[in-house]
Structure 1
Amino acid sequence: MPAPPNGVIAGWLARHHHLVLDGALGTELARRGADIDDPLWSARLLIEQPALIREVHLDYYRAGADVATTATYQATFEGFARRGIGHDEAARLMRLAVALACEARDIFWREAQADPAQAQRARPLVAASVGPYGAMLADGSEYRGDYGLREEALMDFHRERLRVLAEAGADLLACETVPCLVEARALARLLAELPGAEAWISFSCRDGEHVSDGGPFADCVGALDGFAAVAAIGINCTPPQHIDSLVRIARAHTAKPIVVYPNAGEQYDAVTRTWRGTAHAGGDALAGAALHWAEAGARLIGGCCRTTPADIAALYRRWAAADGAS
């Protein structure tokens, strides 16, 4: 992966106050009528509707996102094999996911060059999503972390997939919704096997102090702090009411940038594959909370499940107004 001397994220944050992430991909595809009721989730559309994936990426860039995260969260060799898709075709689909985000970025950038209103925008990034082992199981265990696997076994699971994605042309990797320290360490150790690669690692958390398997979030952050290729550490797909506490914990245990992209506040039922409750982090609510999280130390902020391009547009407008006032 191409990277400036100090890394993609460090280089960006040396020039800008913050990095605006995109919002949900899978639930946004579903909102537009796609059927993702499948163990492959959004990766199913790499086979059936790749143009729709590109369209969503493009809409996030247009909304103000500085990063698009690829449709590879549940794209694994094991998951594709269950659908009768062989190794080589699975690798091609993973590379396609990165290509779709890069194509959307190129379309947006051509538009931005011709639009004076976009003159302040920097050329955005592409992050290749790496979901946890539990995402492949498709049973909600990325919100429990009860795998019962050792670190080395998780490294074996992630190794080739990580290599394919790292070589596919993305700017960085997004290792996300990690529920436990053992898997985070496995991913961090694998990054050292990929020269030039960098990633953020973000955890799913059950409350304001613990990751999904019950371990202290502080211990997870501290354990990753010494890995050079881990460029940012944080939280995603966690209810927004827990984020402030988690950001403050992260800030106390690492000097690395803090990444935050909560879900909209609803709860996912893995049995019925539906969302319950009321969204609390949409639109202006997400934008207002983001400024608060930034004050606490977060510098990469966006949305996860059930957030939309409209939510990211509100976040972008709020950032722009705050920057203009500073």
Structure 2
Amino acid sequence: MSFRPDVTSFLSGIRPAAPLVCGFWHGAVADLWRVEVGRDGHGAYTARDPRFVVVLDEGESPLRLSGPGFDIAAPVRVAYVPAGLAVRSRFSRGGHLTHLDLHFDAASLHHRLDAAGLDAAALMARPIALPEAPDVAAIARLLAGELDGGAGSALVQDSLGTALAGKVLAGAGRAVPLPARGGLTPRQLARVDALMLSQMRRRLPVSEMAASVGLSESRFAHAFRESRGQSPHRALQTLRVASAQRLLRDPARSIADIAAEVGFADQAHLTRAFGAVIGQTPGAWRRAQHRQGAQQDRTIPDSFDQDRGDAAR
């Protein structure tokens, strides 16, 4: 398998109810999760590549997402999360939850959309949350059935995965209005996101971000906040924290070295940013991950935790 999803996550009160079921084909990975959610179950994740999430259970979806473009009060049946976007999850009720996660290599998804004559950069930059989407859920259930059978065709899985992505992105793209007055266009947001992802390990001034989309620094800062609900500096810090989380999984790495590698001036700066985004210090988060790994059945990875999911594959 050439494409491997890279998701950094923090989980609390979410436990597996059955082994993870996976499907792989060119430029995509599908995961079928069955989990039990506790009374205060919640999580946070940032992914390197674009991701679709579909809740398969009947009735109103208990999933709630918060982050740029998401409203924590609204139920989410189907979500599209752009690459690099930090998202938090909560649930309106506990109990059993079945959901399908569909990860695409960003270049592969861009090619598929572009081949269909769509504005791939604009569509891939916009987060989407749908409270109900019967057509998308129907495709997701067909794909889940292919995965569950264990002998599904890669051709069928690829076709269903592409159909699901097309329904969500192209359909929502027609329905969602243009950015709010004063905000950045989807193409501009995609350009800034790409710059942040590629340059987050060095000092990246707002003036350089603004220049990448042809705006003055003050106008860019205002437009970015209008579009994302946070400052460019805070968005960059969130990406750096996500990168630090991946490195913290290696017990041999010192927190000071990790801080320097992901672009923080020193360990104290990383600790402050990490606490603001994750709610814990880097050391406390690392210890919690170690305890969780020691207690967990290695054959059944935690929901949403693709780092462990890859190991199980």
Q: Which TM-score applies when normalising by structure 1?
A: 0.30
Structure with greater Cα Rg: 2
Structure 1 or 2: more strand by fraction: 2
Q: Which TM-score applies when normalising by structure 2?
A: 0.31
